[in-house]
Amino acid sequence: MRKRHLYLLALVLMTMVAASCGSDSDTGAKTETKPPPTHPAGSTMANIQAKGKFVVGTKYDQVGFGQQNPTTGKVEGFDVEIAKRIAVAIFGGDVKSVEPKIEFVETVSKNREPFIQDGKVDIVAATYTITDTRKQVVDFAGPYFVARQDIMVKSDDTSVKGVGDLNGKKACTAKGSTSEKNLRAKAPRADVALFDTYSQCGEALRDGRVQAVTTDAPILAGLVSRSDRAFKLVEAPFSDEPYGIGLKKGDDVFRNFINDRLEEIYANGEWAAAFDATLGAIGLKREPPPKVDRYSSLPATTTTTGSTGTGGGAGSTSSSTSTSTSTSTSTSTSTSTTTTTTKQP
């Protein structure tokens, strides 16, 4: 038994030593140096600047947008690059010098809203699609990217030129996704095969069980880049999913600030450089940046329901204080829940 204890102890020690070793790396992209700016007193930017810490929620497993590199421990991708540029506007300096001031926190689709509401993160940049439902609990700056739904086929397939050509063909997408809805709307006679993940769709395409895969172009681009030229993108996009920067509801000053910064990096070419270094590298074609949408914040609903039906709200306080669950006014949830997505980009 003593031997076993030693063994366990050794394992624990090993991990501790291992964990205490850090590492370093860099992502070279076009940068610009700024002097430390002054922000309006009391604003979120001023607070972050004073704290010296900018907390960003992002995904760690989304190719091209936010992916953790196990060799460096750092997150890489387009979302990360955008976050760094927002950080430059807050702290001044350049993309390199702000890096230590940014703390990336891994978020998954479902904890993005709670993390924003709770203040656990300052912003969320995590392939976060702007929707009216979400606007009732959080606010969005941007969009800074529009993912278009596209089609992927085998490289030698020339029969599919647009979504209409999928009628009568077997097409694959993820169960319950918005992609599925769009496909059924645009190609009603397509034979839809539903899998749980897009890599399964890719496998099915490879062995001929389906003739096409359709979803957001960046996801397809990832599959194409891994396919050894067996697949290609049709490049006939047929619907839009705008990705935005999620932040606390009602913080219009911060939202405007980020929107200004986004427009700035659109104009000075940094957005394009960030795109090329990340999404461009997985074969995605760059389009002009999307127009920033400065909408007026929706009133927060009285309860914290995100239901689309009864948006009966009083006052646009950013609170998420309603702790009572029994006083719900939501009745129309059943319709919206049947269309839940497995993939909510």
Partner 1 sequence: MTAPMLADALGPRARRRMRLISVVAAAAIAGLVLAAVRRLADTGQLDAARWEPLTQGAVIRFLLGGLLATLRVASLAMVLAMAIGMVLAFGRLARNPVVRVVTGAYVEFFRGFPLLLLVLFSGLALPKYGVDVAVFWYVVLALVVYNSAILAEIFRAGILSLDKGQTEAAHALGFSYWQAMLIVVVPQAARRMVPAIVSQLVTLLKDTSLGFVIAYPELLRRARNTGEFFQNPLQSLFAAALLYIAVNLALSRVARRLEIRQRRRYGAGAITVAGAEDLTVTAVQSEEAAPEGPG
Partner 2 sequence: MRLVLDNADLYLAGMATTVALTLLSFSAALVIGTVVAAFRVSPVPPLRTAGTLWVETVRNTPLTVLMVLFFFGFTKLGIQYSAFTSAVIVLSAYTSTFVAETVRSGINSVAKGQAEAARSLGLTFPQVLVRVILPQAFRTVVAPLGSVFIALIKNSSIASVISVVDLTEVADRLNNDTARPVAVFLGAGMAYLLLTLPSGFLVGVLERRVAIKR
**8 Å CB contact between 109 and 344:** yes
Residue 50 neighbours by CB distance under 10 Å: 9
- Name which of partner 1, partner 2, none residue 344 binds, using a CB cut-off of 5 to 8 Å depending on partner kind: partner 2
Task: Give the CA angle between residues 131, 136, 137 to the nearest 5°.
Answer: 105
Among 43, 72, 97, 328, binds partner 2 (CB under 8 A): 328
Alpha carbons 218 and 216: distance in angstroms, whole number? 6
Alpha carbons 126 and 128: distance in angstroms, whole number? 5
63 or 151: CB nearest partner 1: 63
Among 28, 70, 100, 315, binds partner 1 (CB under 8 A): 70
Indicate whether 5 belongs to the interface with partner 1 (CB under 8 A): yes
DSSP string, 75-105: EESHHHHHHHHHHHHHH-B-TTTTGGGEEEE
- Name which of partner 2, partner 1, none residue 307 binds, using a CB cut-off of 5 to 8 Å depending on partner kind: partner 2
Segment contacting partner 2 by CB under 8 A, of 16-24, 106-114, 180-188, 232-240: 106-114
Q: Which residues contact 256 (CB under 8 A, 6 or more apart)?
A: 294
Q: Tell me the HSE value of 294 on the side-chain side, using a 13 A CA sphere.
A: 12
Provide the mask over 165-194, with x wherever binding to partner 2 is found by CB under 8 A and - wherever it is not.
Answer: ----------x-------------------
Residue 56 neighbours by CB distance under 10 Å: 25
- Name which of partner 2, partner 1, none residue 203 binds, using a CB cut-off of 5 to 8 Å depending on partner kind: partner 2
- Name which of partner 2, partner 1, none residue 5 binds, using a CB cut-off of 5 to 8 Å depending on partner kind: partner 1
Which phi and psi (to 5°) does residue 172 adopt? -115, 140
- Name which of partner 2, partner 1, none residue 330 binds, using a CB cut-off of 5 to 8 Å depending on partner kind: partner 2
Provide the mask over 286-305, with x wherever binding to partner 2 is found by CB under 8 A and - wherever it is not.
Answer: -----------------xxx
Alpha carbons 171 and 194: distance in angstroms, whole number? 9
In the 8-state DSSP scheme, what is residue 129? B
Q: Do β-strands 240-248 and 138-154 pair in parallel, antiparallel, or remain unpaired? A: antiparallel
Indicate whether 331 belongs to the interface with partner 2 (CB under 8 A): yes
Among 197, 256, 317, 319, binds partner 2 (CB under 8 A): 197
Residue 141: left (phi > 0), alpha (psi -120 to 50), or beta? beta
15 or 167: CB nearest partner 1: 15
Among 28, 71, 156, 208, binds partner 1 (CB under 8 A): 71
Provide the mask over 19-58, with x wherever binding to partner 1 is found by CB under 8 A and - wherever it is not.
Answer: x-x-x-----------------------------------
Token pair for 236: 């006939």
Indicate whether 229 belongs to the interface with partner 1 (CB under 8 A): no
In the 8-state DSSP scheme, what is residue 313? B
Alpha carbons 65 and 78: distance in angstroms, whole number? 4
Residue tagged 């190609």 (tokens): 187
- Site of interaction with partner 2 (CB under 8 A): 109-110, 113-114, 133, 137, 175, 196-197, 199-200, 203, 303-307, 325-326, 328, 330-331, 333-334, 336-338, 340, 342, 344
- For partner 1, the binding residues (CB under 8 A) are 1, 4-5, 7-8, 11-12, 14-16, 18-19, 21, 23, 60-61, 63, 67-73, 106-108, 110-111, 113-115, 117-120, 226, 304, 320-321, 323
